[in-house]
Structures are given as structure tokens and as C-alpha cells.
A and B are shown apart, each in its own frame.
Chain A
Amino acid sequence: MTDILETATDDIREEARSSGRRSWWQRLRGDRTGMIGLVLVVLVVLAAVFAPLIAPYDPNRQFANGLSQFGMPRPPDASYLLGTDLLGRDLLSRILFGARVSLIIGLVANGVAVAIGAVVGVVAGYFRGWLGTVLMRFTDVMTAFPALVLAIALAAILRPSLWIVALVIAMVNWVYVARAIYAQVLAIRERQYIEATTALGIPTFGVLVRHILPQLTMSLLVFATLGISTSVLLEASLSYLGVGVQPPTPSWGGIINASQSYLTTAPWLVLFPGLAIILTSVGFNLFGEALRDALDVGGRR
């Protein structure tokens, strides 16, 4: 849920303020749920990086003994720890390699989204006027576009590949970053000292870089973490609808898409990739929120 991003900066400040004067790192270390999140994130990253070493089999290999006489996949057993999929491939190997797709898309899509959102938000918020109006009206149009509908339409038109899917997700998600940053920049701009800098004749670029951007760094860092969860979820939904990364590249949503009609006869094909999605997303959410608390964007300066 992208809305997390929008209010990210307001509602937690209060709690963070009470956490005193320790450094952000100490506060982060002390946040138990945040640390659980970090552990999950590290696990997923390790799985993705070392997939070729950990995976018991080639994720694309179709085993002759992986299917029964009428093409039924094998339930989990000693030789296929999480069972096989509808093509007789090892599910565990596919889930491990699927972590790569999720992470790459999560990182790339969210990185692009944060970058676009930050630029649009800062430009619109700082310069206001017609430029700001045009930019924010365009942002409004994009929010009126149901995110998933836009993504489906885009993905159906552009041939879905890893990078296209990442780009589509970025196109949908930057809006929320832009809105939040816009609001923040507006608020910062209202402060006396910015007016003072203008009065002193400090060039615009200098004001942006020296006075506005530093105040946004922490928020952007939080977006960069929390947004990964959103991107991972959106990627899963797109793949589930069949417009995400295309087979045979393993992706978690894609595995569920391919096997949901076997829900009652081979539930493991939905359960395990589903768990992988949830754990990854929970990990980034918990860690991101803890980071937000610890960085306490509004509290210290």
C-alpha cells in the first residue's frame, strides 16, 4: 500500500521524539521489530545473490519424474523439498531464483520512482507558479488512474520484460513520492530562513542543494526502503495477472498465476510463493518503518 509513503513522515515523528538523543543507529539497533525486518531482508538478499549455489536444481529443468501419469505435480518430499510445479520443475529452486526477480524489480522500480518523485516534488514545491500547477495537476491525473489498471494497460502494450515491468511500476509509484515531497518542500519553503536566503540573493540552485535537499534526504531514504515493499507487491500482482515477467523466468506472482487452478489439488504451489512474497514485503516494511522512526526526519536538527 503506497499510502504508507504519504503519511510516512507525519504520524511517527511524535513517537520518535520520545526516543531521546541517542544516535539513529543506536535507536535502530534497539528496535526489535525493525531488527526482525532487517533479518528478513538480509535472508531474501542472500537467497537472491546465492541462488545458483543454494538451489538444489536448475530452476528451468523439467524433470520427467516431476509429473504423474496425468500431469499432476509432485507434493513436497525428500527429492523435491517444496514439491514440483506444473511442468515438473523443482519449486524450491524456482522460488530461490524468483527472489532475484523480486529484488531487482523492487530496487530498480523504486529507485526510479523515488528519483522521479523527488524531482517533480521539489521542482513543483519550490518554484510553484504555473510549473508547479502543471506538474501537480499531472500528478493528480496519475493518481486518478487506478494504479493497477495503468500497469496492466502498459504491460499489455509494451512486451513485458524485467526492465519494462520495473519501469511500469516506477511510472505508477512516483506519484506518491512526488506528492509527499511536494508537501514537505512547501512546508520548508514557508520557513523564515528560506525567505531570508532569497532575500540575501543566494542563487536558486544553491538554496535547493544546500537548504532544501538535506532536509529531504532522510525522507527519501525512508521512501527508498518502504517503497521496495510496495514495488515487490505490485510486481507480484502484475505477474499474478499474467502481465509481469514472462516465463520461464521464475517469479513468485507468476508461479501463483500458473498454478492457481490447482489450488485445491496442489495448494503448495500457491502457499510457498505466497509466503515468499509476504515475508519479503514484511521484511522491508518493518525495517523501513524502524528506519523512519530512527532517522526521525522532523525531530532533530
Chain B
Amino acid sequence: MTAYVLRRLLQGVGAILGVITVTFILTYIVPVNPAQMIAGPSATPEVVQRISHQLGLDQPLPVRYVHYLWNLVHFDMGRSYAQRTQVSALVATHLPVTLKLMLTGIACELLLGIPIGILSSVAQGSWWDRGFTLFAFVGVSTPQFVVGLILLYLFGYLVPWLPLGGYGNGDLTHYVLPALSVGFAGAGWYARVLRSSLIDVLRQDYVRTARAKGVKPRAQVFRHALRNALLPVIALVGLDLGVFMGGVIVVEQVFALPGLGQMMWQAIQVLDIPVIMGGVLMTAVFVVIGNLIADMIYPLLDPRIQYH
């Protein structure tokens, strides 16, 4: 088990290294010299040249790459060209927002998805079940930004119960609509996953045994089946983090939440490469951690899968 965890961790680090490499190569292809932007309109070519040199932009790619990694090992993500501050400082202010949106979003997925999944598995084939199936289909078929904009219009403008987006003082009311927007698609999807895995579990022997022993149907579902059926859902949440982060970025854009997505988006606008790198790195770390957790859980639920 320990060896397995260690190996997965190493693989995770490898994946992050891969992400850094890919991003690095991508930013290198950018045909724009950020030194020009920093130097301003009245700069002479010499000044631009000098700034280029200060930023190390005139060095060959491998040198810059090794340099970046070296700094990274020392917890230094470099300085932002545009914001004139440490990337780590920017990440520190934007990360909590993204984390909160992630957590509230996942909470929305599960709080909506699990009850719906249970209800439709219990009432399999009923009118409820069909309604929920439709909901699930619309959920996975609607881009987060459309959900977000519709929610904004309804509950921010027409019936102004909630803030029209933004961060304000950062209280939870600012996360309700964004979290619903990122969670909507996932809720539908997990409801379907849970439904089919519940139906699966309910058919299995030990549940039948429990039923034969006279355990009441509701208790059956909750005590015996649900525990086993929930695990794949939770594992899936971990595996889906990559896709989920994409949604978070779009929704931050819809609601103007000052999270990592906004940070990266603005950085892309001004080709602030250290910030783009920092943002990609952070999201990759999340995804790797999520996948790691999923990998830990998977063997737990199916004894046939071994830690190897």
C-alpha cells in the first residue's frame, strides 16, 4: 500500500513536470516579446533589449526551463511582468477564491446529485425517474456559462435575491450562483452514475440477504447499498477535477470572481508568462491530487483491483 501511494505520488509529480514542460514550450512559441509591453511606447529598442535581458528572455529555452525548475524547487514562481509582484503573492490572493468555488461547487454537485440519484434508483422507471433523467441530460448538455448567465438574470436581476456576481466582502452569498453553475452539470452526471451503481448494488447478494432477513427497504438502501454505491461517485469527483477546473475558470469569468481563472485569463491578455505558468501549475497540482485521491479510493471499492 505505502509503495503504491509512493509510486502514484511520483507519477503525480511526473505529470506536473510534464504539464510544466508542455506549458513552457507553448509559451515559448508565443511570437510576442513581453519586454516591449513593459518598456512602454517611448522606449528605444536598446531599452527593450535590456529588459529582455533582465527577464532572461534572450536565453535559450533549455536554460530558461532549468532556471524555472530550479526556482520552483525553491518555492519561487517568478515575478509577474504586468503586476510587478511575486507570482506566489498573486496565487496566494486568488487561490482561496478558486478553492472556495471548487468546494462549494463540488458540494452542489453532491448535494443535488446524490438525493436525485437515490430517488431515481428507488423509484426506477417512475415519472420522477424520467424527470430526473431529463434533468441530468440537460445538465450535462448545458455549458456552465449559459447556466451562470441564466441564473444571474433570474436571481440576480429579475428577483434580486443574490448578488449580481462579484466578490464583495467574499461572503458565501457570492458563491451560491457560481457554485450552482459549476455544479449543475456534475449534479446531473453524478445522479446518473449513482443511480446505475445503486441499481447494481441492490441486485447484489448481500443486499438480497439483508432483504431476506427482513431489513426494511429504506434502511436497505441507506445502510447497505449507499455506502458502496457512493464510492465510485466520490472517486469520479476526483477523476473529473480536470474538467471541473475548466468549468471553474469559465464561471469565474461569468461572475467576475477574482480566482485563479481570472488571474490566468488576465495574464493571457497581456502575455504575462510567469503568471500563466503559475496558474497552470496550480490547477495541475489540484488535478493530480484529485486523481490521486480517486486512485486511492478505487481499489477500496473493488477488491479485484489491486494496489499496483
A and B touch in the complex (CB under 8 A): yes
Please, how many angstroms separate the alpha-carbon atoms of A263 and B12 in the complex? 42
Contact with A along B136-153 (1 / 0, CB 8 A): 011011111110011011
Bin chain A's interface residue count. Answer: 35 or more
Chain A nearest Cβ from B251, distance in angstroms: 10
Q: Contacts A263-B152, A264-B153 known; A11 to B196 CB distance under 8 Å?
A: yes
Please, how many angstroms separate the alpha-carbon atoms of A4 and B197 in the complex? 14
Please, how many angstroms separate the alpha-carbon atoms of A151 and B283 in the complex? 14
Please, how many angstroms separate the alpha-carbon atoms of A24 and B20 in the complex? 46
Contact with A along B184-206 (1 / 0, CB 8 A): 01100100010011011000000
Please count the residue pairs between chain A and chain B whose beta carbons lie under 8 angstroms apart in the complex.
161
Q: Across the two chains, which residue of chain B brings its CB closest to A243?
A: B268
Q: Say whether B157 faces chain A, with CB atoms less than 8 Å apart.
A: yes
Q: Say whether B77 faces chain A, with CB atoms less than 8 Å apart.
A: no
Please, how many angstroms separate the alpha-carbon atoms of A264 and B157 in the complex? 7
Chain A nearest Cβ from B202, distance in angstroms: 12
Give the contacts of B206-247 with A (CB-CB under 8 A).
236, 239-240, 242-243, 245-247
Please, how many angstroms separate the alpha-carbon atoms of A267 and B150 in the complex? 9
Count of chain B residues with a beta carbon within 8 Å of a chain A beta carbon: 59
Contacting pair A241 B152 (CB below 8 A): no
Please, how many angstroms separate the alpha-carbon atoms of A235 and B11 in the complex? 31
Of A146, A253, A267, A286, most buried by chain B (CB within 10 Å of CB) is A146
- A residues near B297, Cβ cutoff 8 Å: none
Contacting pair B245 A3 (CB below 8 A): no
Q: Contacts A11-B193, A236-B143 known; A1 to B243 CB distance under 8 Å?
A: yes
Contacting pair B200 A3 (CB below 8 A): no
Q: Say whether A260 faces chain B, with CB atoms less than 8 Å apart.
A: yes
Chain A nearest Cβ from B25, distance in angstroms: 10
Contacting pair B15 A149 (CB below 8 A): no
- B residues near A14, Cβ cutoff 8 Å: 196, 199-200
Q: Contacts A256-B149, A264-B157 known; A143 to B250 CB distance under 8 Å?
A: no
Contact with A along B1-35 (1 / 0, CB 8 A): 00000000001101110110011001101100000
Contacting pair B18 A157 (CB below 8 A): no
Q: Contacts A153-B276, A256-B145 known; A147 to B26 CB distance under 8 Å?
A: no
Q: Say whether A2 faces chain B, with CB atoms less than 8 Å apart.
A: yes
Q: Which of A143, A152, A157 contacts B30 (CB 8 A)?
A: A157
Chain A nearest Cβ from B100, distance in angstroms: 17
Q: Contacts A256-B146, A270-B149 known; A241 to B253 CB distance under 8 Å?
A: yes
Q: Which of A144, A146, A240 contacts B291 (CB 8 A)?
A: A144
Q: Say whether A7 faces chain B, with CB atoms less than 8 Å apart.
A: yes
Contacting pair A149 B245 (CB below 8 A): yes
Please, how many angstroms separate the alpha-carbon atoms of A145 and B243 in the complex? 9
Q: Contacts A156-B268, A278-B146 known; A237 to B288 CB distance under 8 Å?
A: no
Contacting pair B288 A148 (CB below 8 A): no
- A residues near B11, Cβ cutoff 8 Å: 137, 140
Q: Across the two chains, which residue of chain A brings its CB closest to B239?
A: A3
Q: Say whether A93 faces chain B, with CB atoms less than 8 Å apart.
A: no
Q: Say whether B116 faces chain A, with CB atoms less than 8 Å apart.
A: no
Q: Contacts A141-B22, A143-B291, A147-B242 known; A282 to B141 CB distance under 8 Å?
A: yes
Please, how many angstroms separate the alpha-carbon atoms of A127 and B276 in the complex? 37
Of A137, A140, A145, most buried by chain B (CB within 10 Å of CB) is A145
Give the contacts of A121-156 with B (CB-CB under 8 A).
137-138, 140-141, 143-149, 151-154, 156
Q: Say whether A12 faces chain B, with CB atoms less than 8 Å apart.
A: yes
Chain A nearest Cβ from B155, distance in angstroms: 13
23 pairs from A and B in contact (CB 8 Å cutoff) = A1-B185, A3-B189, A3-B243, A11-B200, A137-B15, A141-B15, A144-B287, A145-B22, A146-B243, A146-B246, A147-B242, A147-B243, A153-B23, A153-B276, A153-B280, A157-B30, A237-B144, A237-B145, A241-B253, A263-B149, A263-B152, A271-B150, A282-B138
